[in-house]
Amino acid sequence: MVFFEKHGVDEKEFFRFFPLKNYHFPLHFHRAYELIFVNDGQISVSIDQKEYLMQKNEFAFIFNNQLHEFRTIDYSEITIILFSPELIGDFFMKFKGFIPSDNVLHFEEKLDLKKLKSIYSQKSFIYGICDNLINHTSFAPIKQSSQTKALYKILLYVEKHYSVDCTLKTVAKHLQYDYPYLSRLFVQLMNMSFTDYLNNYRISQACYLLKNTNQSIDEIADNCGYNNLRTFHRNFRKITGHSPKEYRILD
C-alpha cells in the first residue's frame, strides 16, 4: 500500500485527505499535488532541496513531481491533502512546467475538510488556495539535470518495488545504468546510502499501516519488503525509537 506516490497516476479527478501525528516521510514525488497543513507543532520540509521550517497555521503547496520530504521536530499534528491535477485543470495547464519560488503560505481559518463533500466544494477550496499562491509568490521554469532525472528513476523504482527484493544492483540493471555511478550519485544527492533510504522508506510505510490498518505486525513487515521479522524489528526501532507494537498504541 503506497499512500503517496501512486496518487494522480490515473488522470482522474480525486481529492483525499488524512491526519498524521508525529510523522515523517523520506524523499519522494508523485503526479498529484500535495498540501501539508501544520495544525500544531513543527515540521521540517524539504522541497527540491529547499528547506522550510513550518509551524502551526502554515501549509506547503507542493507541485506535481517536486521532490520532497518532511519530518517532525519534537511534535507535530498535520493534515495531508492529495489531489489530482485534473481537479484544477485550468491552473494545471497554465502553470505546467513551472514551480513556485516559495511553497509555504499561512492560513488562519480552522481547517474543516469534512464539509467539502462535493467535487464542486473541493474545487472551490483548492482554487482559493491557488489564488493565494499566485498572489504570494512568483514561478520559475522547471530545470532538471541528467543527475536529477536519474534520481527520479531510482526513486520511482523503489516506489514500485519496495515490497519485494530491491537492491541498487537490480535498479542499475533495470535502468541500464552503471552500478558504481548510481551508487556515487545516490549518496551525493541524498546524503545517505541506497540501503538506508530503502529502510527509511519501508519503515515509513510500516508506520502508516500500523496506525491506519488492522494488519498484524507480521503482515506489515512482509508487505513492506521484510521477509525476516527480526530485521524488521531492528530497523523499526533504529529509525523510530520504538518497537512496532509500541508505535501502534502511541497517541
**pLDDT per residue over 208-229, tens digit each?**
899 889 999 999 999 999 999 9
State pLDDT tens for residues 91-120: 999 999 999 999 999 998 888 998 999 999
State pLDDT tens for residues 152-200: 899 989 988 999 999 999 999 999 999 999 999 999 988 899 999 999 9
Residue 3: predicted pLDDT:
43
Split at pLDDT 50, 70, 90, the class of 4 is very low
50 phi and psi, to 5 degrees? Answer: -100, 130
Residue 30: predicted pLDDT:
86
pLDDT above 60 for 201:
yes
Question: Which residues have C-beta within 8 Å of that of residue 166, sequence separation ≥ 6?
Answer: 157, 158, 198, 225
State pLDDT tens for residues 33-55: 999 999 999 999 999 989 999 99
Residue 198: predicted pLDDT:
96
DSSP state at residue 31: S
State pLDDT tens for residues 10-32: 557 889 998 898 888 888 888 89
Task: Spell out the domain ranges in the chain.
Answer: 15-141, 146-249
Residue 7: predicted pLDDT:
46
Cell readout for 248 is 501502534
Rounded to whole angstroms, how far apart are CA atoms 7 and 82?
7
Domain at 146-249: CATH code: 1.10.10.60
DSSP state at residue 73: E
Are 57 and 107 in contact by the 8 Å Cβ rule? The answer is yes
Residue 209: predicted pLDDT:
92
Residue 8: predicted pLDDT:
43
pLDDT above 70 for 139:
yes
Residue among 45, 14, 50 nearest 32 (CA): 14
Split at pLDDT 50, 70, 90, the class of 2 is very low
Are 58 and 38 in contact by the 8 Å Cβ rule? The answer is yes
Rounded to whole angstroms, how far apart are CA atoms 117 and 121?
7
Residue 143: predicted pLDDT:
85
Please give the average per-residue pLDDT across 199-212, as a whole number. Answer: 91
Rounded to whole angstroms, how far apart are CA atoms 244 and 228?
14
Rounded to whole angstroms, how far apart are CA atoms 196 and 163?
15
Burial of 211 (0-12, 13-18, 19+ CB in 10 A): middle
More confident residue, 4 or 39: 39
Tell me if the domain spanning 15-141 has CATH number 2.60.120.810: yes
Residue 145: predicted pLDDT:
86
State pLDDT tens for residues 71-92: 999 999 999 999 999 999 999 9
Distances (CA, A) of 250 to 23, 122, 175: 12, 32, 40
Please give the average per-residue pLDDT across 145-153, as a whole number. Answer: 89
164 phi and psi, to 5 degrees? Answer: -125, -175
